[in-house]
């Protein structure tokens, strides 16, 4: 029941954004959370978006990205930074699959003084445009992907990124995630969970499907050339 309420809250808040379309929503919670080993570590999860939803476009301008942070009753204060990164190449089994990350925003969570566990939804708004990769070998057919990442300033095990086992929109490789060090600016991973353990993370994405920036520029030049020919 709690999962259904949280899912409804996520979709309701996302749908309320002007002109926003829900492109990805994975929120079927498990009993686990991921605790980063370092405050300089960004954990990235792969998020695959249906090409049908994209309507022939090859990029997405992110509007709202929401993640779930699982917190204990005594969780200390922490900053939650949400990142996005492109997928590079055709192989998700190498660290090089993670392109240069872009910081979407940071939200501060106060220390908890309640009881029990809670999943807090953390959202950032963005105007970042990310190219999507449809060439990943072994990925779900007819989907294009990008990475969404979470970084916690307080690495206490009382705060962690919520692990999920499924969702209602989009697709995910549920056997691995990827890490990136913001100090060395080097990707590491992928990191595999134990076999049989779900390893997707709670993420929802809204945005607007657009051509890749390079393609849009080329289309603009093509239109200008055609205009000049007509003159």
3-state secondary structure 33-54: EECCCCCCEEEEEEEEEEHHHH
Please state whether beta strands 59-71 and 118-125 pair in parallel, antiparallel, or not at all (unpaired): antiparallel
- Sign, Cα dihedral of 85, 184, 154, 158: positive
Using an 8 Å Cβ cutoff, are 130 and 59 in contact?
yes
Using an 8 Å Cβ cutoff, are 79 and 42 in contact?
no
pLDDT for the residue 9:
46
Digit-by-digit pLDDT tens for the chain (231 residues) are: 444 444 444 444 444 444 679 999 999 999 899 998 899 999 999 999 999 999 999 999 999 999 999 999 999 999 999 999 999 999 888 888 999 999 999 999 999 988 899 999 999 999 999 999 999 877 778 999 999 999 999 999 999 999 999 999 999 987 789 999 999 998 887 887 777 777 799 999 999 999 987 744 434 444 434 434 444
pLDDT for the residue 98:
94
pLDDT for the residue 148:
98
List the chain domain ranges.
2-230
Secondary structure E strands in 54-181: 59-71, 78-86, 102-109, 118-125, 129-131, 143-152, 159-164, 167-169, 176-181
What is the distance between the alpha carbons of residues 149 and 41, in angstroms, rounded to a whole number? Answer: 10
Using an 8 Å Cβ cutoff, are 71 and 159 in contact?
yes
3-state secondary structure 79-103: EEEEEEEEECCCCCCCHHHECCCEE
Instruction: Write out the two tokens for 216.
Output: 């849009």
pTM: 0.85
Question: For 154, which DSSP code?
Answer: S
Cα 17 to Cα 22, 123, 198, 206, distances in angstroms: 10, 12, 30, 8
């Amino acid at each position: 029941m709690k999962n259904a309420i949280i899912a409804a809250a996520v979709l309701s808040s996302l749908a309320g954004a002007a002109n926003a379309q829900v492109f990805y929503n994975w929120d079927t919670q498990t009993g686990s959370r991921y605790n980063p080993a370092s405050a300089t570590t960004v954990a990235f999860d792969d998020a695959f978006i249906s090409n049908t939803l994209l309507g022939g476009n090859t990029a997405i301008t992110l509007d709202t990205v929401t993640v779930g942070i699982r917190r204990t009753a005594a969780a200390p204060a922490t900053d939650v930074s949400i990142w996005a990164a492109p997928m590079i190449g055709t192989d998700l089994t190498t660290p090089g699959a993670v392109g240069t990350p872009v910081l979407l925003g940071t939200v501060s969570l106060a220390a908890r003084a309640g009881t029990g566990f809670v999943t807090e939804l953390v959202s950032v708004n963005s105007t970042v445009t990310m190219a999507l990769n449809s060439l990943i070998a072994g990925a779900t057919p007819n989907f294009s992907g990008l990475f969404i990442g979470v970084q916690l300033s307080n690495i206490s095990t009382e705060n962690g990124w919520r692990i999920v086992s499924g969702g209602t929109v989009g697709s995910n490789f549920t056997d691995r995630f990827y890490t990136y060090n913001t100090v060395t600016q080097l990707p590491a991973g992928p990191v595999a969970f134990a076999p049989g353990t779900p390893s997707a993370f709670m993420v929802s994405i809204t945005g607007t499907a657009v051509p890749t920036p390079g393609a849009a520029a080329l289309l603009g030049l093509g239109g200008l050339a055609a205009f000049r020919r007509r003159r």
